[in-house]
Amino acid sequence: MGKKDKNQVKEITPMDVDFPQWYTDVISKTELCDYSPVKGFMVIRPYGYGIWELIQKHFDKRFKETGHENMYFPLLIPESLLTKEAEHVEGFAPEVAWVTHGGEKELAERLCVRPTSETIICSMYSKWLNSYRQLPFLYNQWCSVVRWEKTTRPFLRTSEFLWQEGHTIHETAEEAQEETMKMLGVYKEVAENMLALPVMVGQKSEKEKFAGADATYTMEALMHDGQALQSGTSHNLGQHFTKAFDITFLDRNNEQAYPFHASWGVSTRLIGGIIMVHGDDSGLVLPPEIAPIQLVVIPVAQHKEGVLDKAWEIGKALGKAFRIKVDDQDGYSPGWKFNQWEMKGVPIRLEIGPRDIENNQCVLARRDTGEKVSVSLDGLEETVKALLAEIQQNLFDKAQKMREEKTSVAADMDQFKTVLKENPGFVKAMWCGDRACEDKVREETGASIRCIPFEEEQETLFEGKCVCCGKPAEKMAYFARAY
């Protein structure tokens, strides 16, 4: 850290003044990532990668609990494979990066840097699958993909990003659909319980679905600025790819059949969601479950005898149960350290000074509320454990309340435009299912259909009339502007 940073923490632009600049300030000043020499590509720094590792850990645990195994497939895909499924290649062609030379020699066939892995994975499945007895294939890979984006923003939309992609094949259409919905449920569970992100789940419209899918299902989170973020998707791919890649097996009737395919993915985009849902004008606010540092110990008057020793004693004791940092840096005031760790979103700050030691106590400061309380050093581990759980729940509750406050309903286009302007966020409205109405809403408001909720969450608004054309409509949809 340079000399100019030593005595003060740089200011962060207030989110109400300039939300995009606030976001940029937060990710740079908390050292989550940095811009690389290649436009649109980011360098994820240790603190940002630490968050991703914990997100990855929670998801990976649930994947394995549901019977999935991790594999790895090549980064480069022959052009002939990419073009086998027409709808798929058409959807990704504008974003594909191509390798044309190996060393100085021009390749006989172009290789694409994977934008997604359906094609390379299916080419291998066609080699491996012979009998229904082998099914299902329940495989996942953690990797990066490249999609040559025109406009980028760190974590939210970059030309390369880290993700996982599950690709499973099944004996029946019913099993593939069950898998598709099961993994959407896993995504929702982890997002809400671990990332404290309340998400809306449902089906994408035909326009918004994944290229080559029978149906796409999504979870959508709402950011502080009222824009939605697609936070994970699960696709029922039917037999589009299995037929294109001639994946067949001998079925129970001793006949050749095509299996049914599902795929699902979440990415480092979730880090952007965490920043924009929980963050405030002081910087990051991290849910304890995915905070690289759950508690920072700050010695006050550390030059005085016994203070540093006590801070490290507490740090080592708590470090057995939590992710701990003892900030014993010289030359920085306690106030500067308080601000620094507040900006980095650490859930709990523990302050310990000479008077605290005399009284066998310490001060705990919560990042989510700013509340400070003196607690006994006796039973400190249980105190911290309970407080972290309380913070985790409070962040979810606050985010859910924010989403509810930023959700409106609209009967017609005039009302739609008014509520979207006055209260940016989700707009619940009836939709007739016509692509022309979907396009018109997008053209006039900038809002798209984020998801069509499932039957149990459907409700009929305004006598079931389409928000755009006024004709009878059976489905209610969530609209929003989105990242």
pLDDT tens track for 90-127? 878 889 999 999 999 999 999 999 999 999 999 999 99
* Mean pLDDT to the nearest integer, 406-424: 98
Residue-averaged pLDDT of the chain: 95
Q: What pLDDT score was predicted for residue 8? A: 44
Query: How much is the average pLDDT of 266-282?
Result: 98
CATH 3.30.110.30 domain residues, the chain: 407-480
Tokens of residue 466, six digits: 């389409």
CATH (residue range 293-389): 3.40.50.800
pLDDT in the model for residue 1: 33
CATH architecture of 407-480: 2-Layer Sandwich (3.30)
Arithmetic mean of pLDDT, 239-248: 96
Measure Cα distances from 71 to 165, 168, 175, 373, 442 in Å. Answer: 10, 12, 22, 48, 39
- Contact between 336 and 348 under an 8 Å Cβ cutoff? The reply is no
Residue 332 has pLDDT above 70, yes or no: yes
Q: Where are the beta strands (DSSP E) in 155-274?
A: 160-170, 200-203, 215-222, 228-238, 249-250, 256-257, 260-267
Q: Whole-model pTM?
A: 0.94
Per-residue pLDDT reduced to its tens digit, 183-228: 999 999 999 999 999 999 999 999 999 988 999 999 999 999 999 9
* Single-letter amino acid, residue 145: V
Q: Which of 42, 229, 59 is nearest to 153 (CA)?
A: 42
- Where exactly does CATH 3.30.930.10 map onto the chain? 19-278
Helix axes 380-405, 307-318, angle to 10 degrees: 70
- 35: helix, coil or strand? strand
Whether residue 442 has pLDDT greater than 70: yes
Where in the chain are all domains bearing CATH 3.40.50.800?
Answer: 293-389
CATH topology of domain 19-278: BirA Bifunctional Protein; domain 2 (3.30.930)
Structure tokens at 374: 């003196």
